[in-house]
Amino acid sequence: MSIAYHSGYGHTAVIAEAVRAGAAEAGAEVRLIKVDEITDEQWETLDRSDAIVFGSPTYMGTASGAFHVFAEESSKRWFQPAWKDKLAAGFTNSASKSGDKLHTLQFFQILAGQHGMHWVNLGLHPGWNSSTGSENDLNRLGFFAGAAARTNSDEGPEAVHKADVATAGHLGRRVTERAKVFVRGRVAA
Ligand SMILES: Cc1cc2nc3c(=O)[nH]c(=O)nc-3n(C[C@H](O)[C@H](O)[C@H](O)COP(=O)(O)O)c2cc1C
């Protein structure tokens, strides 16, 4: 599995690391790839991966400019098509509770769709939506499309919320488990 992500100020990098840790715990060989520094070798790593998880902060209601540059550059893979039938998933982080994060996740879904990839959603019920819930619940922000995090804009990466880190870890484990089933199914088919 590869995690192709951008983080301008280090907050989203904490979420990327949590996805990596969850995936590794579930048995994946994982590569973290910073899309703003991506090398030819790392593009080839993406081409060899069974699953690619996209990650970016939400800037101005969408993925960051650096992530959009990467998405455009991936059009070379689209022509081949090099990423067809891989699994895909996504995560984002921003300062506001909503902050239009859903739009970033939907952008990732469309990017995956354009490549002919298969989207893996978060697979968790929403947390923190009843009188017995709390902000420490898994999926506390109630997203289905991917893992979402919110971090105060005036604090550093150490302030990333533990519940969001745990939710991202869940996504990493889930994509790994789905990839195992998908790859074994392809061999058996
Ligand atoms: C240019 C810019 C645009 C932003 N736009 C949004 C936004 O649309 N919604 C939001 O909730 N937060 C927004 N933020 C806040 C960031 O998403 C937030 O600080 C996030 O933790 C940054 O992650 P990073 O350190 O990985 O870059 C914006 C920040 C910047 C710098």
Q: Is the CB of 151 under 6 A from ligand 1?
A: yes
Q: Is the CB of 172 under 6 A from ligand 1?
A: no
* Tally of residues, the chain: 189
- Tell me: the pLDDT tens digits for 14-55? 999 999 999 999 999 999 999 999 999 999 999 999 999 999
Q: What is the pLDDT of residue 83?
A: 98
- Counting from 1 in the atom list of ligand 1, the atom nearest the Cα of 62 is 8
Q: Please, what is the angle between helix 11-25 and helix 162-188, to 10°?
A: 50
- Counting from 1 in the atom list of ligand 1, the atom nearest the Cα of 15 is 26
- Tell me: the pLDDT tens digits for 107-158? 999 999 999 999 999 999 999 999 999 999 999 999 999 999 999 999 999 9
- Tell me: the pLDDT tens digits for 55-108? 999 999 999 999 999 999 999 999 999 999 999 999 999 999 999 999 999 999
Q: Is the CB of 152 under 6 A from ligand 1?
A: no
Asked whether 171 and 19 are in contact (CB, 8 A), the reply is yes
Q: What is the pLDDT of residue 164?
A: 98
Q: Is the CB of 92 under 6 A from ligand 1?
A: no
Q: Which domains does the chain have, with CATH numbers?
A: 2-188 (3.40.50.360)
pTM for the whole thing? 0.99
For ligand 1, atom 28: residue with the closest CA: 59
Can you tell me which residue has the tokens 């392809």? 186
Q: Is the CB of 58 under 6 A from ligand 1?
A: yes
Identify the DSSP state of 64: -
Amino acid type, 26: A
Q: What is the CA 188 to chain-centroid distance, rounded?
A: 28
